Structure 1
């Protein structure tokens, strides 16, 4: 006799029946492979939203990149940018060659020390000719006779700092006075280089002297100016004038010997005649005048710093 057990149910599988129409589903039946019929509209609407938001954007981008006119516009803009860059580089190269500028800063510590000694004691130096290798001059680090822009640049900055210190010691420092001192020193170099270029042009001197060379030779005076101001601050007016005389004579000797190799050697030796023989004398005059002008500039730019 079977006794029914209230907590036991038979495990025999039963057929799945559809719920009554009036009772809501507590859980969604996800056992079937496809999406629920009741949520078909949701998937459709989701697809539509994707098509509106992302699909349209993607299709717009695809159309942009597949449009021949858009591609042509992009290529034209790229070519214009490349042409503009080339034009800018060409215009910069007309006035300032980066490779040539790097040449004037190709120095090392050994060269700087030897060049400073040459500027202050040039009388014992024998060989003043710049060496070449396959029509290319040696870099300054390999030839002490080669002009450079590192020493003039550093000397100019040191001169401005020394001028500020000298004015501060004398209780005369102000930013305006220091700015006027710096601008005056720079303007004198520019005027000197322009006069040299004009003189070489009028005399039709065909040499390898460039504008950077002239700036370098003109900027070497700042080394003597630093020495002069230091001696004036340490030893007074007597030390200033002794240092002025020494640095001026040394710089004049250096300029004459350096520029003579550049200017006078460019004159053809087979030239004859009165007019032809006058040109070497004019070139010598402009070389000596350039050297003789250096003490005047040194005194003009340093006398007001030492009192």
Structure 2
């Protein structure tokens, strides 16, 4: 009887969830207009934010629309699409637009995002970091860089290279601070929970990893936009 009951439960599960975590993805898209506005402000002005702790309810993180510190996929996805559109506009103003070139721009940005996430996952494994960071979390955090890239490109379209470098520099600094303050709670806090000495070698590796992930964001932001501004 127990075996038949377990089998019936398996058949009752959504078969799509076996291949695509639809239920988990719903959490990352549970946003509203207020959250999006506040999150964009946080990404551009993280220096004004004080409490970076993610809120939990019964050991489960609350939905993003109730917690500005929670990662979401809505902003990264929309920012990625907007970045491609703005890139197409920039290419058009320079008489360089073509569907093939725009497709190359999109595929290149997506490929670098995948490489970045895989590299971070491998680094977490090698450093043996026990964290609740998921692959989807890393995609979300890595996708926030597109917001700053859009700001830099729009500034370049309106004010030329001077505006591009000024605004992109600000956005690079902002995303670096955002990533440091966000990831240190996910990576370094685990070290404290495990009783690792603050100045221990393992904890230093965690700190270097956090800084490396944060430092990658400005590099990709410049690499994926500098050729679009003339």
Q: TM-score, normalised by structure 2?
A: 0.91
Q: Which entry has the higher C-alpha Rg, 1 or 2? A: 1
Distance 1:164 1:230 in 2: 12
Higher relative contact order (CA 8 A, sep 6+): 2
Partner of 2:207: 284
Partner of 1:270: 195
Change (3 A) 1:141 1:237: same
Change (3 A) 1:130 1:166: same
Which one of the candidate residues 166, 178, 187 is aligned to 2:111?
Answer: 187
Distance 1:273 1:112 in 2: 36
Q: TM-score, normalised by structure 1?
A: 0.69
For the pair 1:297 / 2:224, whether they are aligned, the reply is no
Partner of 2:45: 121
Matches within 5 A, 1:111-260: 111-260=35-184
Partner of 2:27: 103
Aligned alpha-carbon RMSD (Å): 2.1
Distance 1:95 1:200 in 2: 24
Q: Return structure 1 stretches of 4+ with deviation > 4 angstroms.
A: 85-90
Distance 2:19 2:132 in 1: 16
Name stretches of at least 5 consecutive residues in structure 1 with no aligned partner. 1-81
